[in-house]
Amino acid sequence: MASEVLAKPQMRGLLARRLRIHMVGAFLVSLGVAALYKFAVAEPRKRAYADFYKNYSPEKDFEEMKKAGIFRSIK
Amino acid sequence: MAAPAQLGLQNAASPIMEELIAFHDHALMIIFLISSLVLYIISLMLTTKLTHTSTMNAQEIEMIWTILPAMILIMIALPSLRILYMTDEFNKPYLTLKAIGHQWYWSYEYSDYEDLAFDSYIMPTYFLEPGEFRLLEVDNRTTLPMEADIRVLISSQDVLHSWAVPSLGVKTDAIPGRLNQAMVASMRPGLYYGQCSEICGSNHSFMPIVLEFIYFQDFEVWASYLYI
């Protein structure tokens, strides 16, 4: 009855197209997770250790512990 | 010692343990990378009705999923071997301590000091002072000088034990008839706790280790007062 013809839908290569898009996506997501862990956990931890030891005084720490009475070997 | 419900590694008190913590972060980052990739791919496979019914050879992807894991393994192995060789460096230890495992206590001998030896039993819960830690305190702590390389010779008088102090990155098996050597060095004064780490009978969980690191001069005073 109607004279217009619908466009032929995409019938082949659907899985291949899906895989192409999502393989790239999967690698980006996994690299993103790794980068998130590195810059949100690993690097801050290294910096925390460096900052702790920058101004650390073992003598001061020792005297505080001695005053608190935690050492049994020191009368 | 660990805080309640602590999941991660204890704070490092020695340079080796700092390296181990950094390596653990590196390996865990790789684990998260691979696990998130696999989880994504599994969810991809479970959320489609599309199939490929005539898959034949796949030379390119075979190359990728052989070479990529090999590269990842090399990225893990190189820092691991670096730390392994670092832990095996023995740089003229200042002091030698013998730690001998028994059922169910540790005994320590300071052979550099004449006749300095003692046993170290767990402090029973009803003897604990306020502020002390249940199942971690001992009657005689192992006093050591800080900022010094200490060689620890570990053995056992009966069954297998393991001398472990997590914050110093030490865990070495105590094997009857064998002397194992470990190096211990603390950058800070204080108390470092550990527990027996090899099943050794009914009281395996009740033979802890407490190291007390103090200044060398105070250590010499302590050593001169404590001898048998």
**CATH code of the domain in which A41 resides:** 4.10.93.10
Q: What is the pLDDT of residues A12-56, one digit of tens each?
A: 889 989 999 999 999 999 999 999 999 999 999 999 999 999 999
Which ranges in A4-71 belong to alpha helices (H)? 14-37, 43-54, 58-68
Nearest CA in chain B to A22: B44
Q: Is any Cβ of chain A less than 8 angstroms from the Cβ of B111?
A: no
Q: What is the pLDDT of residues B125-174, one digit of tens each?
A: 999 999 899 999 999 999 999 999 999 999 999 999 999 999 999 999 99
Q: Is any Cβ of chain B less than 8 angstroms from the Cβ of A39?
A: no
Structural domains counted in chain B: 2
Specify the pLDDT at position B148: 93
Query: In angstroms, rounded to a whole number, what is the distance separating the alpha carbons of residues B100 and B175?
Result: 9
**CATH code of the domain in which B146 resides:** 2.60.40.420
Q: Do B188 and A73 touch (CB under 8 A)?
A: no
- Full residue range of the structural domain in which residue A20 is found: 15-68
- The reply to whether B215 and B183 lie within a common domain is yes
Distances (CA, A) of B109 to B118, B191, B215: 7, 19, 19
pLDDT tops 80 at residue B116: yes
Query: In angstroms, rounded to a whole number, what is the distance separating the alpha carbons of residues B166 and B169?
Result: 5
Q: Is any Cβ of chain A less than 8 angstroms from the Cβ of B222?
A: yes
pTM attached to this predicted model: 0.91
Q: Give the one of A14, A45, A71 whose C-beta lies nearest to B50's C-beta.
A: A14
Residue A8, min C-alpha distance to chain B (Å): 19
Interacting residues of A11 by C-beta distance below 8 A, sequence separation 6+: none
B128 phi and psi, to 5 degrees?
Answer: -70, 140
Tokens encoding B89: 């460096």
Q: What is the pLDDT of residues B87-111, one digit of tens each?
A: 988 788 999 999 999 999 999 999 9
Between strands B142-145 and B208-214, the pairing is parallel
| Interface confidence (ipTM) of the complex | 0.87
- Full residue range of the structural domain in which residue B44 is found: 15-48+57-88
- The reply to whether B39 and B144 lie within a common domain is no
Least confident range from A35-44, B1-10, B21-30, B75-84: namely: B1-10
- The reply to whether B104 and B196 lie within a common domain is yes
pLDDT tops 90 at residue A74: no
**List of chain B residues whose C-beta atoms are within 8 Å of the C-beta of residue A73:** 141, 143, 212, 214, 218-219, 222
Q: Is any Cβ of chain B less than 8 angstroms from the Cβ of A71?
A: yes
- Pick the residue of A17, A18, A23, A33 with the most B CBs within 10 A to test the interface with B by mutation: A33
Residue A62, min C-alpha distance to chain B (Å): 6
Between strands B150-156 and B95-102, the pairing is parallel
